[in-house]
Structure 1
Amino acid sequence: MKSLLKILIVEDSQIFAQGLELLLEQHPLIGRIETVSNFENTLISLRKTPFDIIILDLNFETNEYDGFIIAKKVKQLYPKIKIMILTQHTRISHYERLFKECKVDAYLDKQLGVEETYSAIDSIMKGGKYVDLNISEMLEIESWMKASKRENDVIQLLIDGLTQKEIAEELQISPKTVEVHIRNLFNKFKVKNSIELVAKYVKYKSANRENVEDSIPPFKV
């Protein structure tokens, strides 16, 4: 008989942790669930119990550590444990750091449903990596992060409803230069017109919803 999974939830929001635990208890392959709220108790629990999966948040109410530090340390000490990040912080820079540096197994948005959480558990226990749909959509349009300041100025004015001539006047550049910027944006983001370009931009802004200014260290950049 296949042994049931043991899961450790590392989350300092007690309400969220309790709700997640209730949902996970419904999974037929999960046998034991334990919850801790800080780095120290994470390591204590891991020394006592051979957990299969850690479900870890990124942001904690302290300047001493965060989910990145916890994930990296756990993988160093217990490389076979699967680490699933479940967080509201969905940033491209976080994605790259989590998978390349911290070697996590899954990156999930807290806004997803329980069925996708189950799918992620099944996937990583089979040896795969898992990125949920919300984050995948964000990554598909990561080129926005590389757009120049002037290109971002142009797209913002397009959203405001300005014509190319009005954009040129607003930015004090020639209409020809505006046309070149817009053409470059079309090519960069593989769209055919301004309507598609604006739609992709709005989608990007919605995916990157974290307000860095309101974050505590080490999330500030």
Structure 2
Amino acid sequence: MKQTIDILLIEDSKSYAQGMELLLKQHDKIDNVFYAPDYKTAMDVFKAETIDIVILDLNFETSDFDGFTIAKKIRQQYPGIKIIILSQHTRKQYHQELFDNNLADAYLDKQLGVKETYAALDAVSLGKKYVDNNILEMLEIETWMRVSKREREVIELLSQGLTQKEVADRLCISPKTIEVHTRNLFERFEVKNTTELAVKYIQYKNANREDVEDSKPPFQI
């Protein structure tokens, strides 16, 4: 790879892209940062410039392509280019598909800080794979967070501070059934009370950004 790095950022959020561009240009090895809001523009940049690293929003969606499809096309047409994936919705299946099919060189939380972003760039530049710690923690949480629809409803209500009897009333099932669900959840997730269970569930929700619609630019160090 060259002494300096040329980057193409493929991102459909202009405000996020502008923030990321400012961040990237502070890195001493980065020469140029190009921006593509869609697949066609990205292909035009590839034809006109020598790109070393692509930073791609996995949740990038158009009527024609999503992030996975774009990553596959880049790998097929430009196999020497490194691909860093950004995502605000971490899923184990995403991680497996990206790395099992060699679609990514790095996988980053979209709300990552400056230091971690630079660490990923440095690792990828040296030909290494990189998954940031936030992603790894999210994947670990998702691994154990395998619950049925009913169990999820029980945890949701318990995390809101309802008692087991109140949960039973809300779901129109017997308190005994709630007791069984709760006991099973305690054993599975190795917690001792509803407070600890709720904390783990909230960690899961936060990790997977279930209630987050937009990501903020990674301006925090």
Q: TM-score category by the smaller chain?
A: 0.7 to 0.9
The answer for the alignment partner of 1:74 in structure 2 is 74
RMSD over aligned Cα, in angstroms?
A: 2.7
Amino acid at match of 1:181: H
The alignment covers a number of residue pairs equal to: 213
Secondary structure at 2:119 match in 1: helix
Instruction: Give the TM-score of the pair, scaled to structure 1.
Output: 0.81
Contact 1:91 1:210 in 2 (8 A): no
Q: Matches of residues 210-221 of structure 1 in structure 2 within 5 Å?
A: 210=210
Higher relative contact order (CA 8 A, sep 6+): 2
For residues 108-158 of structure 1, give each alpha carbon's deviation from its aligned partner in whole angstroms, at most 9, with x where no partner exists: 223221111101111222333323333333212114652012211221231
The answer for the alignment partner of 2:10 in structure 1 is 10
Q: In structure 1, how many angstroms separate the alpha carbons of the residues matched to 2:71 and 2:78? A: 10
Q: In structure 1, how many angstroms separate the alpha carbons of the residues matched to 2:67 and 2:150? A: 35
Cα offset for 1:55? 0.7
Cα offset for 1:174? 4.3
* Distance change in 2, residues 1:191/1:128 (3 Å): farther
The answer for the alignment partner of 1:43 in structure 2 is 43
Q: In structure 1, how many angstroms separate the alpha carbons of the residues matched to 2:145 and 2:185? A: 13
Contact 2:61 2:67 in 1 (8 A): no
Amino acid at match of 1:197: L
Q: In structure 1, how many angstroms separate the alpha carbons of the residues matched to 2:106 and 2:16? A: 19
The answer for the alignment partner of 1:32 in structure 2 is 32
The answer for the alignment partner of 2:55 in structure 1 is 55
Amino acid at match of 1:31: D
Q: Matches of residues 175-194 of structure 1 in structure 2 within 5 Å?
A: 175-194=175-194
For residues 9-32 of structure 1, give each alpha carbon's deviation from its aligned partner in whole angstroms, at most 9, with x where no partner exists: 112333332332222122122223
Q: In structure 2, how many angstroms separate the alpha carbons of the residues matched to 1:178 and 1:85? A: 41
* Distance change in 2, residues 1:151/1:143 (3 Å): farther
Contact 1:109 1:134 in 2 (8 A): yes
